[in-house]
């Protein structure tokens, strides 16, 4: 099972889990019992919501403002849920056992019952909260979201991480050529194309800084199956696939330079008004210094020798260039780096 499929299944499972938890809380306050059958019904609602979100909605709401995205998805999910109930009624309109298994009601009797409307309200609340929670988790990133919930970053924490930064080449010239609005539309177009490659290589997007994107992995995940090395080349391949679209709309093709390093970083939550998780340490300092050498050498990607040593099988799929030295301000030792070229795709 590839990373994209795992991401989709994990997202659908999250909808089911959140739906069950919210339904459990509502049932707890109402005083009603929560049997296995009822729990299963709420889980099915969550799974149904996740399937609609992942396979039906897709990118249809991306152009809307965030509140409108949420409202539109919640309305559609609940309308389609009611439609399913209507289909069940048409299948057997004389008897409908949604509210009681031991004493079936006629459909017109159900619509006259207060119990039905309480149930409908719960469906709306549960599905809407599930959509909201999963959307917030997506905006923040799974690991960051869980870190905030569990208080993981309240105190600075040492972690072994891989860091990859991408910089758009000639960004100032492109911005002047396209103008502010078209330039940011151009950036959004590029970033949206990165999604498949990011999921496939299990990367976290740490932050966007203008035309720069910072990706991170826990060391184990980043080095597994050479994820951190493949990401840049997968993104480049994805952009090349849409070359004609960029040339037609913007009259140019984006090109990025990458720097890749790994080691110990400090992860910590900063600020109180607007909280975020930031990374600091020698790795981040070294990565920023590697950009200057990449520009001088005019190479697309530089990887630290220290990180390559953690991936001894990298030479089977990548051609590793000669070693160069990057002086790092404030450090006693220098960083050794190599250019990289992919010669074979992942099996």
At residue 149, φ and ψ (nearest 5 deg) are -60, -40
Non-local CB neighbours of 319 within 8 Å, separated by 6+ positions: 340, 341, 342, 343
Class of domain 155-342: alpha beta
pLDDT above 70 as % of the chain:
76
Count of other CB atoms within 10 angstroms of residue 188: 11
Residue appearing with tokens 């920023």 = 288
CA gap 14, 9 in Å, rounded = 9
Could you tell me which residue, 181 or 86, shows the higher pLDDT?
181
| Mean pLDDT value of segment 150-166 | 81
Cross-strand bridge partners of residue 161? 218, 263
What pLDDT band is residue 58 in, cutting at 50, 70 and 90? low
183-189 contact pairs (CB < 8 A, 24+): 186/250, 186/254, 187/211, 189/246, 189/249
How confident is the model at residue 242, as a pLDDT? 93
**How is residue 117 written in tokens?**
């409307």
pLDDT at 247: 93
Domain assignments of the chain as residue spans, ordered by start? 3-140, 155-342
Phi and psi torsions of 37, nearest 5° = -65, -40
C-alpha–C-alpha distance, residues 109 and 293, integer Å? 76
Pick the closest to residue 258 from 320, 302, 212 (CA basis). 302
332 vs 13: which has the higher pLDDT: 13
Question: Range with the lowest mean pLDDT among 22-31, 67-76, 146-155?
Answer: 146-155
Question: What one-character-per-residue DSSP string does 53-88 give?
Answer: IIIIITTTTTTS-HHHHHHHHHHHHHHHHHHHHHHH
**Orientation of helix 180-193 relative to helix 227-241, angle to 10°:** 120
Question: pLDDT confidence of 98, banded at 50, 70, 90?
Answer: very low
Give me the pLDDT at residue 135, please.
79
User: Residue 158, SS3?
Assistant: strand
| Contact partners, residue 294, CB within 8 Å, separation at least 6 | 257, 258, 259, 300, 301, 302
Please compute the mean of the pLDDT values over residues 87-114 and round it to a whole number. 53
Least confident of 1-10, 35-44, 175-184, 272-281: 272-281
Which among 285, 161, 279, 164 has a CA at the least distance from the CA of 230?
Answer: 164
Helix (H) or strand (E) holding 317: none
């Amino acid at each position: 099972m590839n990373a994209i499929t795992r991401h989709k299944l994990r997202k659908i499972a999250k909808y089911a889990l959140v739906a069950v938890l919210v339904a459990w809380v509502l049932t707890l306050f109402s005083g009603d019992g929560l049997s296995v059958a009822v729990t299963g019904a709420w889980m099915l609602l969550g799974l149904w919501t996740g399937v609609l979100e992942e396979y039906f909605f897709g990118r249809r709401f991306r152009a809307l403002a965030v509140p409108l995205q949420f409202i539109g998805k919640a309305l559609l999910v609940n309308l389609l849920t009611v439609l399913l109930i209507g289909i069940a009624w048409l299948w057997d309109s004389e008897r409908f056992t949604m509210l009681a298994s031991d004493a079936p009601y006629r459909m017109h009797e159900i619509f006259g019952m207060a119990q039905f409307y309480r149930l409908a309200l719960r469906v709306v609340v549960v599905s809407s909260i599930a959509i909201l929670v999963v959307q917030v988790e997506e905006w923040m990133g799974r690991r960051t979201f869980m870190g905030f919930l569990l208080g993981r970053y309240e105190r600075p924490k040492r972690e072994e991480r891989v860091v990859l930064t991408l910089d758009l080449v000639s960004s100032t010239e492109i911005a002047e050529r396209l103008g502010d609005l078209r330039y940011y539309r151009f950036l959004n177009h590029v970033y949206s194309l990165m999604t498949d490659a990011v999921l496939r290589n299990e990367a976290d997007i740490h932050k966007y800084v203008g035309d720069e994107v910072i990706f991170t992995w826990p060391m184990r995940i980043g080095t597994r199956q050479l994820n951190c090395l493949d990401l840049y080349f997968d993104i480049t391949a994805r952009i090349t696939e849409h070359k004609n679209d960029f040339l037609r709309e913007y009259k140019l093709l984006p090109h990025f330079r990458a720097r890749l390093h790994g080691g110990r970083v400090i992860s910590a939550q900063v600020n109180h008004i607007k909280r975020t998780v930031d990374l600091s340490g020698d790795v981040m300092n070294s990565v920023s210094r590697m950009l200057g050498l990449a520009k001088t050498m005019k190479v697309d990607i530089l990887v630290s020798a220290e990180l390559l040593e953690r991936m001894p099988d990298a030479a089977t799929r990548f051609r590793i260039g000669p070693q160069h030295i990057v002086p790092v301000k404030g450090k006693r030792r220098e960083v050794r780096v190599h250019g990289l070229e992919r010669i074979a795709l992942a099996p």
